């Protein structure tokens, strides 16, 4: 399988002692989308002029959870590369859910693309973190490249859907206007 060849190449050419410490830490930033949820909540609660962006991040994460983790993973039910090549020593616990698409990548790109679409000031740092989290899934041998690509596409779609829905339906009713008057 060509995708295992890519993962084997990464394992042979990119693994170093310090990367073997760094990549699990980066991948854990994406666990259950917690870092992205926290960022969305912080923007929603503390960035008065950007509350809609925070809400859109949270909506995109919810859409990503539903589409990626509840629908596509179960429908495709793809085996993980670490189950095909059992000789690989995993640096993290083996994930128990199916491989396609990558949930870490989907959540990361859902949040980052919302921030890009809204021109949020930290958008490029968020995108860099999303790319690092996506790469960590390959480095750690728990996803195929197409899992990561699929996760990025699902996440970007959820971001677009969130921003579009917000601007067309919710943004018109100014849901944060009462909050803005109090602060």
State the CATH number of the domain containing residue 88. Answer: 1.10.606.20
CB 105 within 8 A of CB 31: no
How would you class 158 by CB atoms within 10 Å of its CB: exposed for 0-12, middle for 13-18, buried for 19 or more? buried
**Is residue 147 assigned to a domain?**
yes
Give the pLDDT confidence of 93-122 residue by residue, as tens digits.
999 999 999 999 999 999 999 999 999 999
Give the pLDDT confidence of 37-47 residue by residue, as tens digits.
999 999 999 98
Alpha carbon 67 to its chain centroid, in Å, reads 13
Quote the pTM value: 0.91
Residue 173 has pLDDT above 90, yes or no: no
3: its two tokens: 């995708």
- Give residue 80's domain range: 18-174
| DSSP SS3 for 118 | coil
**Is residue 129 assigned to a domain?**
yes
Instruction: Name the domain count of the chain.
Output: 1
**Is residue 163 assigned to a domain?**
yes
Residue-by-residue DSSP string for 129-145: HHHHHHHHHHHTTSS-H
């Amino acid at each position: 399988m060509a995708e295992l060849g890519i993962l084997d190449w990464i394992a042979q050419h990119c693994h170093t002692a310090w990367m073997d410490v760094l990549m699990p830490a980066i991948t854990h930033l994406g666990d259950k989308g917690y870092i992205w949820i926290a960022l969305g909540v912080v923007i929603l609660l503390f960035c008065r002029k950007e509350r809609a962006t925070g809400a859109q991040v949270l909506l995109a994460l919810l859409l990503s959870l539903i589409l990626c983790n509840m629908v596509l993973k179960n429908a495709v039910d793809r085996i993980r590369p670490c189950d095909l090549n059992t000789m690989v020593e995993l640096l993290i616990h083996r994930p128990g859910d199916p491989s396609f698409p990558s949930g870490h990548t989907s959540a990361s790109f859902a949040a980052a693309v919302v921030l890009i679409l809204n021109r949020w000031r930290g958008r490029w740092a968020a995108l860099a973190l999303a790319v690092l989290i996506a790469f960590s899934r390959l480095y750690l041998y728990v996803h195929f490249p197409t899992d990561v690509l699929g996760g990025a596409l699902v996440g970007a779609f959820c971001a677009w859907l969130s921003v579009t829905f917000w601007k067309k339906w919710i943004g018109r009713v100014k849901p944060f206007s009462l909050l803005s008057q109090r602060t």
